[in-house]
C-alpha cells in the first residue's frame, strides 16, 4: 500500500543534542510537510517542500531545519533540542499545494522526548 512512513516512532534525546527525524513516502507526491503537534493543540506547520522548493513558516525557529534529498524522503533536523521541543512531529504529503480536491496524507508521527 502506498503510504507515509516515519522513523523512528519514538525518539528520546538529551537537551541540546541534535536529532534527526525521518519521513518517506511511496505516493510520489510533490509536496511534503512537517508539523509539530503538542498536547491538545492543533498541528502547527513548520515548513513544506514543493518538489525541491523549500518553504519555511515565518515563526518556525531557526533550531529547526529540513532536507529533502529526493522525492521520497524528507528529514527534520533539530539542531539543539530544548524542553519546549518535546512534541509529536507529523510528516504529511499531498499531490499538490492546496487547490480544490487535494488532501494530505499523514504518517503516524514521531513522539520526541527531550530529557
Partner 1 sequence: DQQVKQNSPSLSVQEGRISILNCDYTNSMFDYFLWYKKYPAEGPTFLISISSIKDKNEDGRFTVFLNKSAKHLSLHIVPSQPGDSAVYFCAASYTGNQFYFGTGTSLTVIP
Q: For the chain, how big is the Rg over CA atoms in Å?
A: 13
Residues in the interface with partner 1 (CB under 8 A) total 25
Find the binder of partner 1 among 1, 40, 58, 70 (CB under 8 A).
40
Q: Is 1 in the site for partner 1 (CB under 8 A)?
A: no
Q: How far is the CB of 55 from partner 1 (least distance, A)?
A: 9
Find the binder of partner 1 among 25, 32, 34, 48 (CB under 8 A).
48
Instruction: Give 44's contacts (C-beta < 8 A, 6+ positions apart).
Output: 35, 36, 37, 38
Q: Which of 91, 109, 115 is nearest to 14 (CA)?
A: 115
- Interface of this chain with partner 1, residues 85 to 114, rule: CB under 8 A: 90, 92, 97-109
Q: What are the phi and psi torsion angles at 62 (to 5°)?
A: -65, -20
Q: How far is the CB of 89 from partner 1 (least distance, A)?
A: 11
Amino acid at each position: 500500500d502506498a503510504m507515509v512512513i516515519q522513523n523512528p516512532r519514538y525518539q528520546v534525546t538529551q537537551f541540546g543534542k541534535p536529532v534527526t527525524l525521518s519521513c518517506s513516502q511511496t505516493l510520489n507526491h510533490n509536496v511534503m510537510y512537517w508539523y509539530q503537534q503538542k498536547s491538545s493543540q492543533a498541528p502547527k506547520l513548520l515548513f513544506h517542500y514543493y518538489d525541491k522548493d523549500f518553504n519555511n513558516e515565518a515563526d518556525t525557529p531557526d533550531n529547526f531545519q529540513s532536507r529533502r534529498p529526493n522525492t521520497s524522503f524528507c528529514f527534520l533536523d533539530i539542531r539543539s533540542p530544548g524542553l519546549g521541543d518535546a512534541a509529536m512531529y507529523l510528516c504529511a504529503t499531498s499531490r499538490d499545494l492546496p487547490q480544490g480536491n487535494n488532501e494530505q496524507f499523514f504518517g503516524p508521527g514521531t513522539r520526541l522526548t527531550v530529557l
